[in-house]
Amino acid sequence: MNIFRSILALAALAAVFPAAAQEPTSYRVELIVIQRLKDVGTPEITIAPEVYSDDVIDTSAPDPLSVSSELDGLGEPVTGNMPVSEAEMITLSDTAARLARSAGYRVIHQAAWIQPGLPRNAAPGVPVSGTTVSGETRLYRQRYLHLGLDLRFAADQKLTEWRRMRSNEVHYYDHPLFGAIAVVVPVGNGG
């Protein structure tokens, strides 16, 4: 009789806490950061491309890991032991190609990675680093999935924004001089 009660109690606990034994869902995050080359209202005015040339290293841009971030307090920056890995850009690859061919925009950073959907206080910050852009992104999952960007462009322009994300939905983060396009795609439990 005691064995029957023990088995029944264990079955009840397993039904109440099924998520405790499961690994968190992993997500592929794709990010494109673009620079606007033309003023939307006046197409003939452009920002001089040579100012932000790929072969010029912007030494005035802050190091994303040494600057206090608006996203601080939500987790630690990514380290070698964090379960974040590079991935192939799939969903936004056509968008990146179209933007690269466009006269009005310049792709200044693109990346894709896989990471688990961890709670807000455990979510790692993923560094974003390029010639003219630096900062970090942070993905976390509580009741909903959220993606935050804290980016600096050309050392003095800043874009900091949180978004509640839906899986496979493309989001645009806007700034007058630059912007970011992001999508988060579930890839399974535990990576």
> Looking at residue 10, what is its pLDDT?
54
Query: Beta partners for 28?
Result: 114, 185
* Rounded Cα–Cα distance for residues 186 and 191 (Å): 10
Tell me the helices (H) and strands (E) count for the chain, helix number first.
2, 9
Domain residue ranges in the chain = 23-189
Give CA separation, 95 vs 31, 99, 181, in Å.
11, 6, 9
Q: Is 73 left (phi over 0), alpha (psi -120 to 50) or beta?
A: left
What is the value of pTM for the model shown? 0.67
* DSSP-based three-state secondary structure for 37: coil
Q: Specify the pairing of strand 157-165 against strand 171-174.
A: unpaired
* Rounded Cα–Cα distance for residues 187 and 87 (Å): 11
Q: Where are the beta strands (DSSP E) in 83-124?
A: 85-86, 105-116
Q: What is the pLDDT along the chain (191 residues), one digit of tens a residue?
A: 566 565 555 555 455 554 444 556 899 999 999 999 865 444 443 333 333 333 333 333 333 333 334 444 444 444 433 446 677 888 898 998 999 898 899 999 999 999 999 998 999 899 998 889 999 999 999 999 999 999 999 889 999 999 999 999 999 999 999 999 999 999 976 54
> Looking at residue 189, what is its pLDDT?
67
